[in-house]
Structure 1
Amino acid sequence: MKQVCIVSQHFPPEKSGNASRIYDTAVHLARLGIDVTVLAPHPTFPTGSFSRTWKRSNVQEVDGIRVVQLWTWQPGSGNPGFASRMAYYLLFPLHAALWLLVNRSRFDAIVTSAPPLFTGIPGYILKRTSRVKWILDIRDLWIDASISLGFLREGSVYERMSRRFEQMCLARADLVGVTTEELGRRISSRYRVTAPMELMPNGVNTDFFRPNNGGKKRRIIYAGNVGHAQDLDKVALAVKSMNGTYNLKFLIVGDGDTRENLERLVKA
């Protein structure tokens, strides 16, 4: 039986697009007869929603998946500062790398899902120290998004270091997965990608989600992270301004750093 390890910053019971995506992927692989282990932090996101724990690790079985929760710094507020956020993003992959160095012999392949960028750390280290195959799953242009949102200054030392690390990951991975063709083109235009690139779009369970004629009122549904990058406040204001004319109802399903501010805006 093939054994695969998936490294993800998010996993249920966290509520985020990446958490549900990784869960669905892991369950699907397990149903195909693959022995799946998921490495993830103790539940943290949205930050401030879960109790902080200092437990080094916790192992549990979830729907046929072995889930290993590893300690990382857990920000205590809903919108943490830069240092707290970076500690959360950096300590988990370092802990995951140590865990994998001890347990690397049991796996045939490792999948690291980004963003955040730093989940590539354990994949890169394992490729340097073992023959494990590495699939680099890229779901977003995290560095570009950080610059456009003002979290990272273009041309700064942090940006150059991040770009350099991303190039190192792309040069070492055995396979690069991308969500859209455009994402793949943008990665290929900026970086030297030696590994094959595979389109791995988001999917949907059509046995569970089916078309519905609905009522007379038009409904627009957004499901996913409610954070800075989504800029949902502008969408909400636009829908509110058109509501009387177009009879629209906009539903937001999800959680994140900016949910409280968005709720206040909608109620105003």
Structure 2
Amino acid sequence: MKKKTGLLAAAGLLLAVSGVAAAAGTTGEYKGYPVVNVVVNGKEVRGEVPGINMEGNTLIPLKVVSEALGAKVGWDQATATATVTTTAAASSPAGSPTSGQAEDPEKRKLVQSVRDLSKKIDAYIDELSTIRERIRIAKEFYDIKKNDHYFKPMNEFYWKSFEDRYWAIVTETSGSAMNEARQKGLLDKKLMESLDNAQTSMQNYKNAVDHFSRYVSSGQSQFLDYYITSYANAFDMELKAKETFAGAFAEFQSKNP
């Protein structure tokens, strides 16, 4: 048997390319075995070694048939391994989609837009923990010093900034790109749900600060109760926002790696 040109393939190859390659009638003998004609796509092909019928099994020349189908055949003498590479596989870099699976550039752009939006939502949610910690420190300072010094600047420095960021994200999700992403199933409604949960959490933290400020100014204990309830509700919604976002984004990443 010659290295490449003399390679023979078992009948399994015929089954794999059923309707493309076929063995016709016998035409003599080769090394004691009946020779068969090999037809690829309706055209007879011949090589240095003919197709044969060996004890009821049809063997055909791998190199001739593969090349007739536009593939390349290789032979590794050291490992006695024959390889067949189709044109589509040869032209596609390893790990990249073949021509029939090429990713739509427009979809890729939408995926990146959703990913960028998700980062903004994630950053917005993460900021809640900063607000929560500042409220906790302000409350501890008041308990020790009886001074609401750290509560006073919150209304000026935090709430408006949070509102502005929230509405900027909401506006972005109403744009044409996000509407298209939503129609194509790329923008999960749970991402928006996590944003709304974060907004509710922020509003509850703001209410907690307002209630505590009223408690300080009036001395009425019910406002302290309101503070505790609002703070607890805010923390619950913060955790829910994080959990909802994590689940939605993980699903998005799994579908769009």
Q: TM tier, shorter chain?
A: under 0.3
Higher RCO (CA < 8 A, seq sep 6+): 1
More strand by share: 1
More helix by share: 2
TM-score by length of 1: 0.21
TM-score by length of 2: 0.22
Larger Rg: 2
